[in-house]
Amino acid sequence: MRIYGLDFTSAPSKRKPLVLIGCALDDGILRVESAEVLGGFEGFERFLEKGGPWACGMDFPFGQPRPLIEALAWPETWEGYVGKVSRLSKEEFEGAIKDHMAGRPKGGKYHYRLADRRSGSSSAMRLFRVPVGKMFYRGAPILLSSSASVEPCRPTRSGRVAVEAYPAVVARRFLGRRSYKSDEHKKQTSVQRAAREELVAELESTALRETYGFAVEMDTEWREELVRDPMADTLDSLLCAVQAAWAYTKRDEGWGVPAECDRDEGWILDPMLLEERG
């Protein structure tokens, strides 16, 4: 089975393009095979129509919290409110969230999806620092306009399946809260490089197999590349692929989405989110 991982950004650039990592999942091994620079959003759109079957983990929120959807009087369904968002300008979308937050009490500005709480991620509304709200604004409408199956928001019979990923969940299993990457404005530290070396080694270990049901396999050049990149964009794409591969192994069990999930909010696919309650 072809498995992909995509570390997403709301503002692709030459310095930080969309990089898609390609793997093959077979007989308990997820083998790293390729990396493709999609460039900008047009490349992402083309990929979504690429012949399947495949499953791809994508690092951006597919949906928004139910309380926000209701407060803004957006349509209730994923197709409905993402369609609404697709017709808003960037300024209108961000303004709607900021206006809603302005009327909420200090310390309670954000709503969280159940998936956000279980994964420890930022609210899907967040517009600064790690601007996952902006990533939703850019990515979700592209998913809506594609013919791919979007789990669990819009499942179809398509052999091309998009699942929401969050690479930090995988990384924290092995590193805790230790940093393994720097941003483009900071110089990496030797501690971060050592953390990447440890994380890459863990991906090929029995510990990963015990959790996800398979191990990652790669050649020396891939190991060196994943450790060398201080921003860890390709490494994060691989972590997304790990989550997509796990979801694929659970395809006969609803892709690993629990019954309590609000499917219009979306879900981050990882076994950890089945273990924790919040």
Q: pLDDT tens across 122-178, in order? A: 999 999 989 999 999 999 999 999 999 999 999 999 999 999 999 999 999 999 999
Residue 188 structure tokens: 């990496």
CA distance 22 to 264: 28
Q: State whether residue 268 is helix, strand or coil.
A: strand
Measured CA distances, 150 to 62, 116, 159, 184 (Å):
9, 18, 11, 31
Per-residue pLDDT at 185: 56
Q: pLDDT tens across 238-272, in order? A: 999 999 999 999 999 999 999 999 999 999 999 99
How many angstroms from the chain centroid is the CA of residue 5? 8
Residues 6+ apart with CB under 8 A from 93: 85, 137
Give the max Cα distance, the chain: 53
278 — pLDDT class (breaks 50, 70, 90) = very low
Per-residue pLDDT at 55: 98
Per-residue pLDDT at 179: 92
CB-based contact 6:18 (threshold 8 Å): yes
Per-residue pLDDT at 39: 86
184 — pLDDT class (breaks 50, 70, 90) = low
Q: Average model confidence (pLDDT) for the chain?
A: 94
- How many C-alpha atoms does 65 have within 13 Å on its Cβ side? 22
| Bridging pattern class, strands 215-217 and 160-164 | unpaired
Tell me: pLDDT of 203 over 80. Answer: yes
271: exposed, middle or buried (Cβ count in 10 Å: 0-12, 13-18, 19+): middle
Per-residue pLDDT at 207: 92
The domain locations on the chain are 2-61+160-249
Tell me: pLDDT of 41 over 60. Answer: yes
Pick the closest to residue 32 from 204, 173, 269 (CA basis).
204
